[in-house]
Structure 1
Amino acid sequence: MTLLGKIFTVMIFMMSLLFMSFAIMVYATHKNWKELVTAEETGLLAQNRIKEGTITELRNEQNEILNNLARERAARRAALSVLETKVSQSAQMVTQKQQELDRLNVALGEAVQQVKSAHEQLAALVAENAALKVENRDVQIARDANYAQMIVMKDKVNSLDGDMKNLTERASQLNEQVSRYKGILDRRGLSVDTPIDLIEPDLQGFISAVSNNEFVEITLGGDDGLIPGHEFHVFRDRTYLGKVVIKKVAPNRAVGQVIKETSRGVIQRGDRVATKLS
């Protein structure tokens, strides 16, 4: 029961006593009022004293209750002040938490945006990675093809190196042959520009007829490889007589004209002729 309820209870109790007193007084009108009033134990005076004592006690109890009520109210006000302080602090904390929550929401929004951007970048990187894989595969295929081609080319290079080595050796041999041939041409008074048809074969024969020491007939002909323009040296034993140049060729004989600038004697039948002097 609260303090206010106790107060109401005491007041009801006091009013009950008061009405009971009125009832007794009404009842006493039918009796000896003096005896009723002056009786030591049952008289109204005695009862009044008893009631006054009771009222005094009740007043004292009421005062005590009021004092207790005042103390309780003070305590409640103090507690209410403390609670209000706590409520104010809690409100401040709620405000701070709300501000912090707002900041966290903003940070969360930024984080979500960053995650979204990261997902987009990841998707772009995945696509780029797929493209790079395809490109890498194409590059690898091209590399394998190039490697296979390189192996083929290397085999060809090795083959060409072998051919080059053989050709180098052959060129060296040909250079040696050319050197020998050049020496032979130099010894025979020929050059690389000399027409092949004018190069006399290595032949030897005899003079078969002489006409006025200007034209001679020899025992060699076209069957021996002679053509007009070939020259022969004429000699008898160890005596050099001059040179003749072939003017007409038959299969088994030829006619030549004596080159007067080289003449060193009279040419006769039976003299020897040769394209080269040994």
Structure 2
Amino acid sequence: MNLLGKSFSVLILLLSVVFMVLALAVNASHRNWRDVVLADDGLKAQIETIARTNSELRDSRARTQASLDREQAARRTALAALQTQLDQLESQLRESESTVQQLQAKNTELAQLDRSRAEELEKLTAETSRLRESVRKEQQDRDTLFAETLTLTDQMNSLRGVVQLQQDRNDQLMTQVTRYKEVVDAAGLNMNDPLDGAPPERNGNVLVINRPRKLVEVSIGYDDGLREGHFLEVTRGGRYVTRLRVRETEPDRAVAEILRDYSEGTIQEGDRVDTSIE
């Protein structure tokens, strides 16, 4: 029993100590809530400050709302203006797309034209190259011709000297011929007379035929070198006909006798008459 009583005594002691500590703690933590509320920085002052702040915030919210409303109205106005501008831009865009399509078509046409002109340019370039080669060849030919011209010019100048010498010699010979003619005329000589008695090579035609007298008149005479006694050969188309002997002569005609012994055909007007037959 003593042990049990001692145990309870100790337990009571411990509980007393615990309660005392709790009482001290409660006493230490006890506050005067009125002072706390009414103090300068108490809850009341804090509530009033919060109320003022809340009122200011409401006013600010009202001002902000009004500003927001004005801003929204302005934004709506701006949005409407932007929508109008957007519509205009869309219209311009459609017009631009149409213009772009036209430009694309034009660009395609220009590209085709450019290709055709490029092909034409290639042809012209080839033609130009050919022409340049031709011009180069022509220049070479011209240079060759120029060199030949210089050579021929030199030769011509040289020949001019020769011609001048020949001209001088010709003048001298003409002077001599004139002197010889004067001497021949003074001596009563005819330059047409053959030196060996034979007539010069001449030809003519039978003009008139006198068959009873066996005489013919021919178209060549004294001035052609015919003299009395000369013989003439008569042909027709290359065939021999007969022979004639000249009996009389005039300056441009003569009378000849038909030699029957040499006749191989009948003489006719227009037959060819030659002083000799090769």
Common fold, TM-score beyond 0.5? no
The TM-score by the shorter chain falls in which range?
0.3 to 0.5
Q: TM-score, normalised by structure 1?
A: 0.40
Q: TM-score, normalised by structure 2?
A: 0.40
